[in-house]
Structure 1
């Protein structure tokens, strides 16, 4: 689930994840960045501890080496000795057990050595020194399960890490939060195209969800003419995402309603319907479904009504949803996804073949 600040704090995705995992099984939390600035990305229950002089970049601000930002849009790197510990805490404040881990790293000429493994357990060693810059995926499997994972850079050269995935050895789904606050199609263009394709392919997704637009209401490409320039740029990003998993389904989520104050009253921003129309057209051309989040908020005047709700469902910045608002929208999105699946299931019955004696 790619997107901007609407999803970067995992509010909406966490609800969709919970609902789908209750229906299809809990495969785990999936892919996450290893070192972040929590002003841009936040994942509840994920504990990140670091030692050493780690750097990190994000899609919104740019600056990542080789224009490679990883699947989550926030890579990390270090040139000296350092370490990271990551794990998901349960309600009992214990580290949740997972069985499969994959670590996405950047190899490069002169790259340093890293080792990784379960805290207190045997570590796997890998050299990122390669003849050219390229992406590598490392894997660990623990049949009995493991909790927190430790990653160490040995200090013999630069080490770059895109992220790590946590999965369980059981049937089910992951719904992976890949949002960065401030993200837009402009920031997505910073991604090295072949790198992004490989990053998406590495997760073998069944569904790609893309949700940006609120940060682009002032783009010249959107405001000029009929918005065709923005529509084509949006279509380009959808095509790049889908290139890594051409058989995956695709869902575009339209912008939330946003407000503006006029004569002491909060009214909806006039640009939102135009953005919805442009994104809907791009989604249709790309072969993606479109979900109108503003319509779920009640359409015109939705933000004001959600703001006046008790408890309030929005922030006072006239752009973002509160925790309660995010949870409500997440429930409605889960309803839509599950309804679509049920419709597909009814139209595509699975033949059950019984074993013959």
Structure 2
């Protein structure tokens, strides 16, 4: 083969492909968006235009300057995070994304401060996969516990589907996990998943009482849970002496034995009246190796374990992979019963990211904001005195005509969620703007602060976004400018 002919052929093909970019144009789609390419018989064949092909995909000078300022600012904050209170003389507060409050804002902030300073303040942090492994929650918990006292990681599921670093919880192999937001598992017909929206069992779920009676095993089934402090987390998380085992739907006798470093400290029966209960285990100091043995012919639904200090801040991380936050109002009575036991003073919602790819137009955005208002109103009825904070979705990027860009409706969603919250007595923090706003995610990915999916933060990014939220909150609580 002649190398010269091959080279000429490649050049001609490339020039022809370049020539087609001059003929390509923007075509309106049914959903109101535009697509570069050729329109033919009602369809669009995707092809870049000349402007798109030669467009500089890098950030503009203004964006770079803004984002570099944010990173420099947050690096200063994180470097200062080893001390109890940030040194605001080192921070350019004009680059900190502040929290938006309902009016009167001073009244909301004062109530929040009173709740944090109270002898016992439980905070429940609900969110999607951005929270898995106690991400964001752990950093916030540690900061608040250092300021207002408290210890322990709060809620830990018995059967875990993601890596958990806040405590070492090892269940026996016969445990199975169910969740109201998990489409891969059958739903409980009684819809009782408790306040943490998931449950674990060591015997199968039966569809009806008749099925249960027909196949119920008369032999006793044993299950165990071993709990010990984590060696990989903040020191405050290792300080807990108030352990709660939350359960419901116990219809058969269940024996429970609790061992602390091999010594039997409790030998009792769980209440088998079918209602929600909390089995309490109190120790003088953090148990180094706690083992719980359960035995029954049929497992209750166990809604999780709480590991708390005797007073101060407790913060529960409730990560709901794949959830857009619209599952709360479908839960049964155990949710309210558990709220009466837990008495949360602050509830944090962090949702929106899983809805973003499926939003087609502004009406869908408004509908989602309305859904979230209804969900929070439902939860608020279970805890009328609690303060509510909503953390909006991060910037998220997708490929549009070969460019990595923010989802087009994400800025509108952030705006609508803020409006919905501040007009319904909910504080709102825009993670989207804290990152730098539209098209900021590629910058975070370049800095290795977010993953290649252009959605989730890396461990380094998690610390930064957590500290940005905490700093904004702390500045309001201390009236810092």
Q: Same fold (TM over 0.5)?
A: yes
Equivalent residue, structure 1, for 2:176: 55
Secondary structure of the 2:417 match is: helix
Provide the C-alpha distance between the structure 1 equivalents of 2:232 and 2:314, rounded to a whole number of angstroms: 19
Task: Report the CA distance shift for 1:135/1:308 in structure 2 as closer, same or farther (over 3 A).
Answer: same
SS of residue paired to 2:179:
coil
More moved, 329-338 vs 147-156:
147-156
Provide the rounded CA distance (Å) in 2 between the counterparts of 1:191 and 1:177.
19
**2:261 maps to 1:123:** no
For residues 250 and 97 of structure 1, what CA distance do their matches in structure 2 show? 27
2:449 and 2:457 in contact (8 A); partners too: yes
CA deviation vs aligned residue, 1:249-288 (integer Å, no higher than 9, x gap) = 1100111000012343311111211221232233124311
**In structure 1, how many angstroms separate the alpha carbons of the residues matched to 2:369 and 2:280?**
39
2: CA distance, partners of 1:237 / 1:296 = 25
2:441 corresponds, among 298, 303, 328, to: 303
Match of 1:167 in 2: 308
Residue 465 (structure 2) aligns with: 329
* Structure 2 residue corresponding to 1:183, chosen from 305, 313, 323: 323
Q: Which residue of 1 aligns with 2:255?
A: 113
1:314 — aligned with what?
450
- Counterpart CA distance in 2 for 1:189 and 1:161 is 20
Q: Name the CA shift for 1:96/1:14 in 2 (closer, same or farther; >3 Å).
A: closer
- Relative distance call for 1:224 and 1:268 in structure 2 (3 A) is closer
Does the CA-based 8 Å contact 1:6-1:321 persist in structure 2?
Answer: yes
Preserved contact between residue 184 and residue 212 of structure 1 (Cα < 8 Å) = yes
Distance 1:159 1:26, change over 3 A: same
Indicate the larger mover: 177-186 or 204-213: 177-186
Q: What do the CA deviations read for 1:202-260 (whole angstroms, capped 9, x no partner)?
A: 2222211000111112557x746264432222111111222232112110011100001
Provide the residue aligned with 1:276 in structure 2.
Answer: 414
User: Which of these residues, 245, 249, 253, is aligned with residue 103 of structure 1?
Assistant: 245
**1:260 lines up with 2:398 in the alignment:** yes
Instruction: Output the CA distance in 2 between the equivalents of 1:34 and 1:10.
Output: 15
- Relative distance call for 1:91 and 1:215 in structure 2 (3 A) is closer
Contact 1:73 1:179 in 2 (8 A): no
The superposition leaves residues 182-214 of structure 1 with CA deviations (integer Å, 9 ceiling, x where unpaired) of: 12223434422x322233332222211000111
Number of the residue aligned with 1:26: 150
How large is the Cα RMSD of the aligned pairs?
2.6
Q: Supply the distance in 2 between the matched residues of 1:46 and 1:144 (Cα, whole angstroms).
A: 15
Please give the alpha-carbon distance, in whole angstroms, between the structure 2 residues aligned to 1:29 and 1:264: 43
Q: Which residue of 1 aligns with 2:347?
A: 208
- Normalised TM-score (structure 1): 0.85
- 1:325, CA displacement in angstroms? 0.9
Number of aligned residues = 335
Deviations 1:310-354 (A, max 9, x none): xx111111211111111100000111221222239x9xxxxxxxx
Shift of 1:73: 2.7
Counterpart-to-counterpart distance in 1, 2:141 and 2:321: 20
Residue 369 of structure 2 is matched in structure 1 by: 231
**In terms of mean alpha carbon deviation, does 157-166 or 313-322 score higher?**
157-166
Q: C-alpha separation between the residues in 2 aligned to 1:259 and 1:226?
A: 19
- Kindly name which structure, 1 or 2, has the bigger radius of gyration based on alpha carbons: 2
Distance 1:143 1:61 in 2: 38
C-alpha distance in structure 2 between counterparts of 1:70 and 1:87, whole Å:
24
Distance 1:36 1:91 in 2: 18
More helix per residue: 1 or 2?
Answer: 2
- Counterpart-to-counterpart distance in 1, 2:262 and 2:473: 41
Counterpart check, 1:36 vs 2:160 = yes
Partner residue, 2:297? 156
Q: Does structure 1 conserve the Cα–Cα contact (< 8 Å) formed by 2:362 and 2:409? A: no
The answer as to whether partners of 1:183 and 1:215 remain within 8 angstroms in 2 is: yes
Pick one of 167, 171, 195 that aligns with 1:46.
167
Q: Partners of 2:418 and 2:312 in 1: how far apart?
A: 30
Aligned to 2:129: 5
SS of equivalent residue, structure 1 residue 2: strand
How has the CA–CA distance of structure 1 residues 118 and 281 changed in structure 2, closer, same or farther, with 3 Å as cutoff? farther
Name the counterpart of 2:478. 342
The answer (yes or no) to whether the contact 2:153–2:315 under 8 Å persists in 1 is yes
